[in-house]
Structure 1
């Protein structure tokens, strides 16, 4: 059995050409699409159906976890080793504020860092499209549309013909 391709990579000269090809691909029924551009292109994310990032929710959960951990840690310490200094109460929440603030920021930042790495699939040491001969131009002045091989409509010759008809300057097979 032949090894399935990672996808078919079409190279475009302009962002408008890439947007038009992505719209055509979506209209033709392709669902597994990815684009590589040297700068952000307005309107490309909805066509590719890139999910909304949930990093802010993770940051909020991390912040509450940090505040809760700081509060519980200090309350436990004051319960185990009570110090009656100057008649202050055993659980003086105003005295806990600084440590709670610090751990709130720390846990939130660390949670967002880990979530960002996980959501982006990093660290990714190898990505199949990096092996494409002209892909190095994606960071300079070329725009690439990749139809992934896992797409139900993917067909080696059919997808290559589709990308050529959509205006691709070159089409290249991307091995896995």
Structure 2
């Protein structure tokens, strides 16, 4: 740390060998009170979000609200166009035959749910992210293969370079390193 000041480092990156090790380490980092940190793994680890203390995702509310509003809007648009605005008798069918208007409303709901899911997921995950400081680490490249990582940011209020590094080593990390901005 002697050559890097706190302003020059992004944080500390700790490497773990297994999913169970990173899971237990995440619980301890959460319990220590760190706020700006994240865990990285080559595959989804069941329960890791709870171990990290993450809240429930807002994506289901975004998708649900969007599909409900657009589904009702599509239904009402179809009712207005065919039953009020432009009445045209076809085969003696009623102007406000709601059974025929349900399908277009449902299709609007499904389409808007898919679009809201994609846009909401990208926005909530802050994607696309073309650059991240962790890309500077040679060890971090193994996250897509077989290694697990925890990164604690230097901007965290509880971050102290020496204490945080010692803490991550105590958790059983196989490699701990500073990452530059």
TM-score (norm 1): 0.87
Aligned residues: 176
Q: Does 2:121 align with 1:122?
A: no
**Residue pair 2:6, 2:154 contacting (<8 A) in 1 also:** no
Report Cα offsets for 1:15-53 as digits up to 9, x if no partner.
333233323323333232211112233342212122212
Unaligned runs of 5+ in 2: none
The alpha-carbon distance between structure 1 residues 134 and 71, as it changes in their structure 2 partners (threshold 3 A), is: same
CA-atom RMSD, angstroms? Answer: 2.1
Q: Which moved more, 1:65-74 or 1:112-121?
A: 65-74
Structure 2 counterparts to residues 71-82 of structure 1, below 5 A: 71-78=75-82, 79-82=84-87
- Tell whether 2:44 aligns with 1:44: no
Does the Cα contact within 8 Å between 1:4 and 1:149 map onto a contact in 2? no
Could you tell me which runs of 5 or more consecutive residues in structure 1 were left unpaired when the two chains were aligned: none
> Distance between the aligned counterparts of 2:152 and 2:161, measured in 1?
10
Correspondence 1:19-168 to 2 at 5 A: 19-78=23-82, 79-168=84-173
Residues 115-173 of structure 1: CA distance to partner in whole angstroms, max 9, x if unpaired? 11111111111122122121011122211111122211101222112212222221121
